[in-house]
Structure 1
Amino acid sequence: MEDILDVCHLPYSPGYPVVCMDESCKQLVGEVREPIPCEPGCPLRIDDEYVRNGVAQVFMEVEPLSGKRHVTICERRTMKDWAMQVKGMLDERYPEAIMVRLIMDNLNTHSIA
């Protein structure tokens, strides 16, 4: 943990960006009934019944010191998908960087090998 905190306290450098990367599975839901619009003194009313529209994998990158963010939506979450996201980040968003300092958790799919 101390290593991560040391990296987070480094000053901003475009040649050595600090990027936090993670993914999340999100359920896609739709409404069964049309919400009832707001009226004076009455808020928007939304029925709690919903229809399930599957799931999506959300890959997120954040460079906290510059405020940059990037989000990609995929159908699945495998080691290959993770590696392709890292490759895309390095090739497309940080091609001029000397070294990208990547902060990520230790999920089993977070492997470049």
Structure 2
Amino acid sequence: MEDVLNLYHEPYDETRPVICFDESSKALRGHERDPLPARPGAVARSDHRYKRNGKQRIHLSTEPLTGWVNVEITEKRRTIEWIDRMVELADVHYPDADCIRVVMDQLNTHKPAAFYQFFPPEYAQAYLDRFEFHYTPKRGSWLNMAEIEIGVLKRQCLDRRIYHAATLRAEVAAWQRRRNTTNRPIDWQFTTDDARIKLRQLYPIETEEDLQIHA
């Protein structure tokens, strides 16, 4: 936890960007019957029944200090999709960065060693030399600022039924373009000092005997 919090309060360095990465999903659902639009004296209404059309996976990367965000939609969420996102960060979005520092959770697909499964050793090592991975603690995913952007995406773009994957991709792409034109960095306020006060139950409790030993 403190590793991530300390990272968030480092000054901006374009050669060592801090990127938060997280994943979510969107169930594709359509109306069985056309919804009734709002009219004077009546609100819009939708039938509670719907048609299922599978699920799509959302992969979101964001640079909190600049407000940049990138979203990719895939059918599956496997290690190869995670590798693709990291390669995209390195080759497309941050090709000139000395070190890309990525904050993410401990999902079993987030395995740096997996680079060796998909690339020859020299290429795998070359990619890994450009990354520095920081993991949020278990049950501490709220420390990942990518969750904030996913929340915004869901409220502004995904809060309705979408039936086709192509429609989902188009809607998310439009949201991403609008979001990136606003240049809204995330103002993270929670610090390590705050954690040691507000989350002190997570820290080892020193007894009087422990304090005497340290003295």
TM-score (norm 1): 0.94
**Which residue of structure 2 lines up, in the alignment, with residue 41 of structure 1?**
41
More helix by share: 2
After TM superposition, the structure 1 = structure 2 runs for residues 3-14 of structure 1, keeping only pairs within 5 Å, are 3-14=3-14
State whether residues 57 and 74 of structure 1, in contact with CA within 8 Å, keep that contact through their aligned partners in structure 2. Answer: yes
Q: Number of residue pairs matched?
A: 113
Q: Secondary structure at the match of 1:98?
A: coil
Q: Which has the higher contact order (CA 8 A, sep 6+)?
A: 1
One-letter code of the match for 2:77? R
Q: Percent identity?
A: 42
TM-score (norm 2): 0.51
After TM superposition, the structure 1 = structure 2 runs for residues 29-108 of structure 1, keeping only pairs within 5 Å, are 29-108=29-108
**Which residue of structure 1 lines up, in the alignment, with residue 158 of structure 2?**
none
1:16 aligns with 2:16: yes
User: How far 1:26 sits from its partner (Å)?
Assistant: 2.2
Kindly report the root-mean-square deviation, in angstroms, between the aligned alpha carbons of the 2 structures. Answer: 1.0
* Distance (whole Å) between structure 2 residues aligned to residue 111 and residue 54 of structure 1: 27
Q: Secondary structure at the match of 1:66?
A: coil
User: How far 1:42 sits from its partner (Å)?
Assistant: 2.1
* Distance (whole Å) between structure 2 residues aligned to residue 41 and residue 6 of structure 1: 54
User: How far 1:25 sits from its partner (Å)?
Assistant: 2.6
Q: Secondary structure at the match of 1:81?
A: helix
State whether residues 38 and 44 of structure 1, in contact with CA within 8 Å, keep that contact through their aligned partners in structure 2. Answer: yes
**Which residues of structure 2 form unaligned runs of 5+?**
114-215
User: How far 1:41 sits from its partner (Å)?
Assistant: 3.2
* Distance (whole Å) between structure 1 residues aligned to residue 44 and residue 96 of structure 2: 48
Deviates more, 1:32-41 or 1:64-73: 32-41
User: How far 1:112 sits from its partner (Å)?
Assistant: 2.4
Q: Secondary structure at the match of 2:112?
A: coil
Name segments (4+ residues, structure 1) moved above 3 Å: none
More strand by share: 1
State whether residues 20 and 102 of structure 1, in contact with CA within 8 Å, keep that contact through their aligned partners in structure 2. Answer: yes
Report the structure number with the largest CA radius of gyration: 2
**Which residue of structure 1 lines up, in the alignment, with residue 26 of structure 2?**
26
**Which residues of structure 1 form unaligned runs of 5+?**
none
